[in-house]
């Protein structure tokens, strides 16, 4: 008698991430109204019981899906919550930071749209991990000799993030190939650097940014 094939064991962490990935996809397209444990389970290819093992109810699923978007942004742009924590703010590569964020937005327009529409519309957006890192590092930066005096870090952060995350929508990133998305992100980051260099930054103290702007597009 032939042995029955052994049932493949699921990796709980991998399953949880599959469910969250499916949830992020639904959230980007249908918003919170379309997000249910049943819909996410079906999209992830798991049964409802498995989904409920990871998320006790719809409210927890929604909250953790939204927070997972912020954690992905944090890791993509900064390398994690503490990756830049030990570096003096004056030594942070402003060119790399701006270009990383622009490239990520072009490659992941749905995630960025979720962040804009769900995190900023939440009851307490100031507690979001990505927002706190972004505005916190910018606030520290405004206190250095590299920045013009009197900058409102919160306003400047929102202007920068909103523009960065909306540009892929305007540019129709989903209809582009890889090379076109890369070029489009470079266009945006270049102009954001220019606005910063001749608006909020002290140009003579940032030769690397000035040099980047002088390079061919």
Domain of 145: which CATH number?
Answer: 1.10.357
We report the CATH number of the domain holding residue 34 as 1.10.10.60
Residue 193's contacts (CB-CB under 8 Å, 6 or more residues apart) are 94, 95, 98, 209, 212, 213
Which of 77-86, 114-123, 138-147 has the lowest average pLDDT? Answer: 77-86
Residue 7's pLDDT band (boundaries 50, 70, 90)? very low
Are 191 and 86 in the same domain? Answer: yes
Neighbour tally for 80: CB within 10 Å: 13
Residues 26, 75, single domain; the answer is no
Comparing 77-86, 167-176, 207-216, the range with the smallest average pLDDT is 77-86
Please choose, from the candidates 188, 171, 25, the residue with its C-alpha nearest in 3D space to the C-alpha of residue 103: 188
In percent, the amount of the chain with pLDDT more than 70 equals 89
Residue 81 has what pLDDT? 54
Tell me, what's the pLDDT at 12?
Answer: 85
Count of domains observed in the chain: 2
Q: Within this chain, do residues 48 and 30 fall inside the same structural domain, yes or no?
A: yes
pTM of the model: 0.80
Is residue 85 over pLDDT 70? no
Quick one: 47 and 79 in the same domain?
no
DSSP result, 33-98: GG--HHHHHHHHT--HHHHHHH-SSHHHHHHHHHHHHHHHHHHHHHSSTTTTTTS-GGGS-HHHHH
Which domain range does residue 200 map to?
66-214
Which whole-number Å values give the CA distances from 175 to 25, 183, 184, 190, 203, in the listed order? 17, 14, 12, 22, 36
- Flag whether 97 is in a domain: yes
């Amino acid at each position: 008698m032939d042995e029955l094939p052994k049932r493949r064991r699921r990796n709980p962490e991998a399953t949880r991430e599959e469910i969250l990935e499916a949830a992020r996809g639904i959230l980007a397209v249908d918003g919170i109204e379309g997000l249910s444990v049943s819909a996410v389970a079906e999209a992830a290819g798991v049964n409802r019981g498995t989904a409920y093992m990871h998320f006790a109810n719809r409210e927890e699923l929604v909250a953790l899906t939204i927070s997972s978007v912020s954690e992905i942004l944090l890791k993509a742009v900064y390398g994690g919550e503490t990756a830049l924590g030990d570096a003096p703010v004056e030594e942070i590569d402003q060119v790399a930071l701006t270009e990383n964020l622009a490239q990520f937005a072009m490659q992941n327009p749905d995630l960025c749209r979720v962040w804009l529409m769900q995190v900023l519309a939440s009851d307490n957006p100031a507690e979001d991990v990505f927002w706190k890192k972004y505005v916190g590092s910018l606030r520290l930066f405004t206190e250095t000799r590299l920045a013009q005096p009197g900058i409102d870090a919160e306003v400047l952060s929102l202007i920068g993030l909103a523009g960065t995350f909306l540009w892929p929508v305007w540019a129709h990133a989903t209809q582009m190939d890889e090379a076109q998305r890369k070029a489009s992100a470079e266009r945006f980051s270049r102009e954001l650097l220019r606005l910063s260099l001749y608006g909020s930054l002290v140009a003579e103290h940032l030769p690397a940014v000035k040099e980047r702007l002088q390079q061919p597009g």
